[in-house]
Amino acid sequence: MRPESKISEYTLTWLLAPHDLDTPELADDSGVGRLPYGLPPEIGEAWIESLALSDGIQLFRAVHSMEASAKGQLVTILDVDTSSEAPVFCAQIILYGRSCHYEYWQGRNRSPVEILAGPGLDTFRYHQEWRGSVMVEGGVTSEMRSVIVPNATMIALLGESVAMDLIDQIGLSKKCPTVVRPVPFYVSAPLRECLSGQFSGLVRKLYAQARVLDYLSALLQHFSKDHVTHECPHRKSIHELHDDLLSLEGRVPTLGELAKKYGMSVRRLNEEFAAEYGKSIFNFVTDYRLEQAHISLLIGEMPMKVVAARLGYSHVNHFIAAFKHKFGYTPGSLHKTKSKMISVG
């Protein structure tokens, strides 16, 4: 039986403090970067968005909108020649369209390996060096999502044995650093959602990190049929984490920081917290902060726009939608409740 989250009082100072509408306290200059590929206009246009997270995790979204004149062709959009000090794990999903990669596993003086992918056929890599040409289907619009996770971060997120088991289960090795595997859409859903614009600043990065962890956990479930969620051997630590989350003001620590503090992998910490309290860490924090917002709007005079920004929402409409989903009514309806309370008083 899960313990109840008993909350006797809320810490609202960080929400009710004097405000500046132009500089919300939780805003962060870092965010999504966007670069064009620079294709000739008669071929089409393409661009890529990227978001850098903590511990070297990188997220990408690429869109290629090709002119009808290129229909039936493979259009080369990028030549890649990268290397890293340690292996990195990369997963790429195609939402629509097709892609073809010519990869040079043994150097560009040898014949390339052809990698074909499309919706439901996801590409996975585990390598220190990647040389190749990236081509997409001409005459149509295609879109992809991908994530790159350094080896050390994979181990920190999943635990060493689990991370290496996942690499092995997917079928990646030094001899075969890239594979294409059929993967159900529900498994790849968290990766599709990582670059959601619902949040901004540091909260956006925390949301993205949580979705990356959800994605890796879903891959574990898919590729390792005997993967079983563990019991909760660290119950005391999980209860301490729960209490710490309730006392947070302002900035929320990253999942990596929390895992380091409590001496567990991020996956284990998140799984045990969810087993104990019925929600992931990120969802628990989000729900609790909406409860704080509810009280602050009811007793204070803080503009809704400021409350939304301090909670990390990129637009007040996203905050209103989340608020209504949780409570069943909009935050604006609290003004009527407040008016009734004042008139009764």
Instruction: Name the band, by pLDDT with cuts 50, 70 and 90, for residue 23.
Output: very low
- Calculate the CA dihedral of residues 219, 223, 224, 230 and round it to 10 degrees: 10
What's the pLDDT tens digit per position in 37-51?
Answer: 888 888 889 999 999
Residue range 219-229, pLDDT digits in tens: 999 998 644 44
Q: Where in the chain is the domain with CATH 1.10.10.60?
A: 13-24+205-335
Average pLDDT, the chain: 86
Instruction: Give the Cα separation of 74 and 94 in Å (integer).
Output: 16
If you search the block for the tokens 């629509």, which residue do you land on? Answer: 96
Tokens of 175: 């001899």
With beta carbons less than 8 A apart as the criterion, state whether 52 and 28 touch.
no
Which is nearest to 53 in space by CA: 123, 156, 142? 156
19 pLDDT more than 70: no
DSSP string, 80-143: EEEEEEEEEEEEEEEEES-EEEEE-TT-TTSPPEEEEEBTTEEEEEEEEEEEEEEEEETTSEEE
Handedness of CA 50, 55, 56, 62 (dihedral sign): negative
CATH of 33-183 given 2.60.120.10, 3.40.366.10, 3.40.50.720, 1.10.230.10: 2.60.120.10
pLDDT band at 201 (very low <50, low <70, confident <90, very high): confident
Q: Looking at 55-59, 269-273, 332-336, which range is the least confident one?
A: 332-336
User: CATH 2.60.120.10 residue ranges in the chain?
Assistant: 33-183
Using CA atoms of 172, 178, 184, 186 in order, give the dihedral in degrees to the nearest 10.
90
pLDDT in tens, 110-121: 899 999 999 999
For a pLDDT cut of 90, what percent of the chain falls above it? Answer: 56
Has residue 55 got a pLDDT over 70?
A: yes
13-24+205-335: CATH, from 1.10.40.30, 1.10.10.60, 1.10.3470.10, 3.30.43.10: 1.10.10.60
Phi/psi at 136 (5° precision): -130, 165
187 touches 145 (CB < 8 A): no
Digit-coded pLDDT (tens) for 61-96: 999 998 887 788 888 888 989 999 999 999 999 999
As a whole number of angstroms, the distance between CA 74 and CA 80 comes to 17
pTM of this prediction? 0.83
pLDDT, residue 72, reads 80
